[in-house]
Amino acid sequence: MPVLRWIRRNLVVLAGLLTLAYMILPNIVVMVFSFNKPNGRFNYAWQRFSLDAWKDPCGVADLCGSLSLSLRIAFWATIGATALGTMIAFALVRYRFRARGAINSLIFLPMAMPEVVMAASLLTLFLNMGAQLGFWTVLIAHIMFCLSFVVTAVKARVMSMDPRLEEAARDLYAGPVQTFVRVTLPIAAPGIAAGALLAFALSFDDFIITNFNAGSTVTFPMFVWGSAQRGTPVQINVIGTAMFVIAVAVVLAGQLVANRRRSNARK
Amino acid sequence: MSATEAPPAPPEKPDVRKPSARRRLVPYWLLLPGILWLLVFFALPMVYQASTSVQTGSLEKGFEVTWHFRTYWDALAEYYPQFVRSLLYAGTATLLCLLLGYPLAYLIAFKAGRWRNLVLVLVVAPFFTSFLIRTLAWKTILADGGAVVDVMNTLHVLDVTAWLGWTESNRVLATPMAVVCGLTYNFLPFMILPLYTSLDRIDGRLHEAARDLYATPATTFRKVTLPLSMPGVVSGTLLTFIPASGDYVNAELLGSTDTKMVGSVIQTQFLRVLDYPTAAALSFILMAVVLLVVTVYIRRSGTEDLV
């Protein structure tokens, strides 16, 4: 049977595409259901087509407030974690110092710890200190768990850097500052950017640690969580879809620019 | 004492040494803020939690350290089903992620050709929508009377899974299968990306060499590709298993009270019951179990330089 033989030969491709479908399916459902007009409070069953939610994405109380809070927290957490993480990564790759093993495990451990453990222990600390739970405690927590991921991303890039480039800069009488700003930083930039993007995504989408340490402050994931109990407004799907479209557009635009630059360079 | 001239300053060390001394301090200055942050907001909380877990008292009177280790025993005795369930669900989801993720990572690394970047974007794309919204979408997909349940019913798959205790005889939602399905879905990218990275590093000429030596595709995979992708398998399974074991979002959104995982218990004890010692003890046990699993696993797979 030729069909069976074809299937056997392309088994890996077929299995891979099935997995891809499994991963994409929920996104499609989210997108389709952003055009739904549900009968009750929950948006789980298809009723009929409507653009209502798209026309009024902030029509639900507190939704857009929680969204802007999440964006603000993610912004500052990204800046904090990227700055601290990049410094650590440079120190780890470029210098010798004591207690390297201990520092390496201190950076690795937050990534090898279930989120709920970090969330609970951090809350214990805040309760013991009598800290007011809210924006600042969430920001502190986010910088803490994003830090290790930034270190890993930047470290990988700095390690693969050719040290001779910096030697060449010094040989050409560039001072240490000039060498760093004009040579080291531009080469490390993709790693730093990758770390920052990762930190932003992790912070923006974090639920468990935030849920423990936010007090009565409500971030976007917490709003979605609450709505799963109270009733899911269609606007949630609208925002999910918009985020998806914007992000994919940014990625594709970045690819296009990179491709064009590469073909220009070849000319 | 009359004011006299200050004693002559000790002769300064030659200037040349100064910058080198300052240079020796550079790494410490670079490390200081970040490491301090981790010490205060990651390590110190662990100490506080350890102390909380051996305290007794009540919310009104306050808690005191009484070295009450029984809390651990009581917590385990009461909540061991949730513990076992967490490890079981997380383990199953990790295995499923490996089985589903490997072909896709292989496809991207070796078969995608010029579609590679597009497929990679599609793998990462789900990340761009909040994972809670996507998890809620599974409620629609697995809904009672929905397409998935209908197909499983007609093919009598549901009878088998119900007999195994994975689902009920007429529904998938609010059963272990729904929770494992959600866990698998949520952590798949964490499996695929490291797998892809390690597969991508394999020198294509090794495959040619294997073929030249008359190895069948299956043998090539078993003897060349799989061993070389082991670092990806190890870090992928860890990146999946660790967060899955502490997760409570999937169990709460897609499961029922019979599918509660230990994360739910910790959250409820901490935020609603306000029984801090029990919550701290549970979270400590979870941490110990996960660290134990991770250490043993890394040792046995012989890839200790993962970090």
DSSP B222-256: IIIIHHHTHHHHHHHHHHHHHHHHH--HHHHHH--
Answer yes or no: is pLDDT of B4 > 80.
Answer: no
Subunit contact A88:B26, Cβ cutoff 8 A: no
What is the arithmetic mean of pLDDT over A210-238?
Answer: 93
Integer Cα distance of A151 and A199 in angstroms: 11
pLDDT value at position B303? Answer: 57
Integer Cα distance of B81 and A76 in angstroms: 40
Q: Please check whether residues B191 and B282 belong to one and the same domain.
A: yes
Angle at alpha carbon of residue B283, lines to B83 and A217, rounded to 5°: 115
Does residue B63 lie within any of the structural domains? Answer: no
Residues in A touching B141 (Cβ below 8 Å)? 25-26, 29
Does residue A259 lie within any of the structural domains? Answer: no
Does residue B119 lie within any of the structural domains? Answer: yes
Does residue A204 lie within any of the structural domains? Answer: yes
Contact B134, B150 (CB under 8 A): no
Answer yes or no: is pLDDT of A266 > 50.
Answer: yes
- Which candidate from A91, A124, A148 shows the least CB-CB separation from B52? A124
The mean-pLDDT minimum among A40-44, A63-67, B281-285 falls in A40-44
Structural domain range at position A113? 64-219
Does residue A48 lie within any of the structural domains? Answer: no
> B153-204 pLDDT, tens per residue?
888 888 888 888 888 888 888 999 999 999 999 999 999 999 999 999 888 8
Contact pairs from chain A to chain B, CB under 8 Å:
247
Q: Please check whether residues B277 and B206 belong to one and the same domain.
A: yes
Put simply, the chain B residues between 109 and 128 with a CB less than 8 A from any chain A CB are 111, 117, 119, 121-128
Does residue B6 lie within any of the structural domains? Answer: no
Rounded to a whole number of angstroms, the distance from the CA of B6 to the nearest CA of chain A is: 38
Does residue A242 lie within any of the structural domains? Answer: no
pLDDT value at position A238? Answer: 94
Q: Please check whether residues B188 and B44 belong to one and the same domain.
A: no
pTM: 0.88
Q: Please check whether residues B132 and B27 belong to one and the same domain.
A: no
Answer yes or no: is pLDDT of B13 > 60.
Answer: no
> At B63, is the secondary structure helix, strand, or coil?
strand
Put simply, the chain B residues between 210 and 269 with a CB less than 8 A from any chain A CB are 238, 242-243, 245-249, 253, 263, 266-267
> B213-265 pLDDT, tens per residue?
988 888 888 888 898 899 899 999 999 999 999 999 999 999 998 889 999 99
A66, with CB counted inside 10 A (0-12, 13-18, 19+), is: buried
Whether the CB of A253 is below 8 Å from some CB of chain B: the reply is no
pLDDT value at position B10? Answer: 52
Q: Please check whether residues B22 and B90 belong to one and the same domain.
A: no
Subunit contact B27:A97, Cβ cutoff 8 A: yes
Q: Please check whether residues B104 and B29 belong to one and the same domain.
A: no
Answer yes or no: is pLDDT of A116 > 80.
Answer: yes
Subunit contact A116:B263, Cβ cutoff 8 A: yes
- Which candidate from B106, B121, B137 shows the least CB-CB separation from A16? B106
Tokens in use for A178? 């000039």
Choose between B84 and A163: higher pLDDT: B84
Contact B267, A116 (CB under 8 A): yes
Contact B72, B55 (CB under 8 A): no
Q: Please tell me the total count of domains within chain B.
A: 2
Whether the CB of A106 is below 8 Å from some CB of chain B: the reply is yes
What is the arithmetic mean of pLDDT over B119-126?
Answer: 85
Answer yes or no: is pLDDT of B142 > 60.
Answer: yes
CATH of residue A205's domain is 1.10.3720.10
Q: Please tell me the total count of domains within chain A.
A: 1
Does residue A7 lie within any of the structural domains? Answer: no
Does residue A262 lie within any of the structural domains? Answer: no
Subunit contact A121:B280, Cβ cutoff 8 A: yes
Structural domain range at position B129? 78-301
Does residue B68 lie within any of the structural domains? Answer: no
Subunit contact A118:B108, Cβ cutoff 8 A: no
Does residue A57 lie within any of the structural domains? Answer: no
Q: Please check whether residues B174 and B207 belong to one and the same domain.
A: yes
Does residue B60 lie within any of the structural domains? Answer: no
Q: Please check whether residues B206 and B270 belong to one and the same domain.
A: yes
Q: Please check whether residues B84 and B38 belong to one and the same domain.
A: no
**Interface probe with B: pick from A70, A121, A152, A224, most Cβ of B within 10 Å:** A121
Give residue A188's identity as a one-letter amino acid code.
Answer: A
Average pLDDT in chain B: 86
Tokens in use for A20? 């891809």
